[in-house]
Chains A and B, each alone.
Chain A
Amino acid sequence: MEHPILFISIILEKLGLPVPHTVTGSNLIEQLCTPYMTYTWLVMAFLIIIPKLTMSKLEMVPGSGQNFWEVMIGGLMDFFTENLGESGAKMLFPMMATFFFYIVLANMIGLIPGFMSPTSNLNITLGMTIIVWFTHHFLGFKHHGLHYYKHFMGPSKAMAPFMFVLEIISNLARLISLSMRLFGNIFAKEVLLAVLFMLAGAYFAPLPILCLGVLVSIIQAVVFVLLAVLYCAGAMEEAH
């Protein structure tokens, strides 16, 4: 689905850089100029610059900027502590909170005309999911050592080899379902908005979908982070 107008792509084309008109480019410089890469960098720049501006000096009586971040960080921290415990939450907080802010912003940015959601590309969501997947297995090995294999063996000894195969398959399915759900939801939102905008943009037809888009963006971000946290918690708890 070719987006009607993407302003970063237009700027890059004006600068003489090759912007591919397919999903991915053929060489490195084209791949770096694909819309989902450039918009990812936009989101990253936003997430680096805005907190710097609003939280450059912390005050005892917070202003509106600092207040916002305190509420967000505090809420997320409570949320992680509930699922992971105090130490686990502190350990995983940087990664999970980064995922949350990145996904929320990346989902939301697609609602503005001229922008697209980087998360509507499978490369981005699969990349994040692979990070989560390796992290939760790494945490499992870190907490249980080699006894982590007991997580894959099921309750009874006789069924263990069979259960091992089943667990491997459902673990790989986790990898796909987590990335596909985020990608599918956001891609659907993007395509629906583009189509409605082309069909009846003058009559505000995309408006209800824009409202739903806000809801979907937040819910999908929460669900992604929540499932990542639940996987990590599951890897760290004792085997059944």
Chain B
Amino acid sequence: MSDERREMFRQLAEYSQVGMTFVFSILVGFGIGWFLDNKVFHGKITPYLTFIFLGVGIVAGFRTLWELTRKISDGK
């Protein structure tokens, strides 16, 4: 493989992962919150932990985006 093509594959891998990681961060956050609410606390404080962890998941998703932009701006 030539250098250019190798670089292309590396970028393809990194950028094609961004969208998926963004979505699944949100889903994982929501899933953790839902699990804590319904399985650990048995619905006593139902919507709160779900929403809190959903928010955390969204922040985690944006953080991966932010990390990537920082990586690009550093020129690595």
Q: Which residues of A contact B (CB under 8 A)?
A: 75, 79, 82, 165-167, 169-170, 172-174, 176-178, 180-181, 219, 222-223, 226-227, 230
Give the chain B neighbours of A75 by CB distance below 8 A: 1
Q: Mark B1-43, 1 if CB is under 8 A from A, else 0.
A: 1000010011011101100110111011100100000000000
Q: Nearest 5 CB-CB pairs, A to B?
A: A177-B20, A173-B24, A173-B25, A169-B60, A226-B13
Q: Among the listed B6, B12, B13, which residue makes an inter-chain contact with A230, where contact means beta carbons less than 8 Å apart?
A: B13
Question: With A79-B1, A223-B16, A227-B17 known to touch, is A173 a contact of B9 (CB < 8 Å)?
Answer: no
Chain B's interface: helix, strand, loop or mixed, by majority?
Answer: helix
In the complex, the chain B residue whose C-beta lies closest to that of A181 is: B20
Measured between C-beta atoms, what is the minimum distance from A221 to chain B in Å?
11
In the complex, the chain A residue whose C-beta lies closest to that of B56 is: A165
Give the chain A neighbours of B17 by CB distance below 8 A: 177-178, 181, 223, 227
Question: With A180-B24, A227-B17 known to touch, is A173 a contact of B12 (CB < 8 Å)?
Answer: no
In the complex, the chain B residue whose C-beta lies closest to that of A165 is: B56
For the A-B complex with A170-B60, A181-B17, A219-B9 known, give 4 more contacts whose Cβ atoms are closer than 8 Å: A166-B56, A169-B29, A169-B56, A170-B21
In the complex, the chain B residue whose C-beta lies closest to that of A227 is: B13
- A79 vs B1: C-alpha distance when bound (angstroms): 9
A222 touches B24 (CB 8 A): no
Q: Which residues of B contact A (CB under 8 A)?
A: 1, 6, 9-10, 12-14, 16-17, 20-21, 23-25, 27-29, 32, 56-57, 59-61, 63-64
Of the candidates B9, B10, B13, B63, the one having the most CB atoms from chain A within 10 angstroms of its own CB is B13
Give the chain A neighbours of B60 by CB distance below 8 A: 165-167, 169-170, 173
Of the candidates B9, B17, B24, the one having the most CB atoms from chain A within 10 angstroms of its own CB is B24
A177 touches B24 (CB 8 A): yes
Give the chain B neighbours of A219 by CB distance below 8 A: 9, 12
In the assembled complex, 18 residue pairs joining A and B whose CB atoms fall closer than 8 Å, in A order, are A79-B1, A165-B56, A166-B63, A169-B29, A169-B57, A170-B21, A170-B63, A173-B27, A173-B64, A177-B24, A180-B20, A180-B24, A219-B9, A223-B13, A226-B9, A226-B10, A227-B17, A230-B13
In the complex, the chain A residue whose C-beta lies closest to that of B22 is: A173
B20 touches A170 (CB 8 A): no
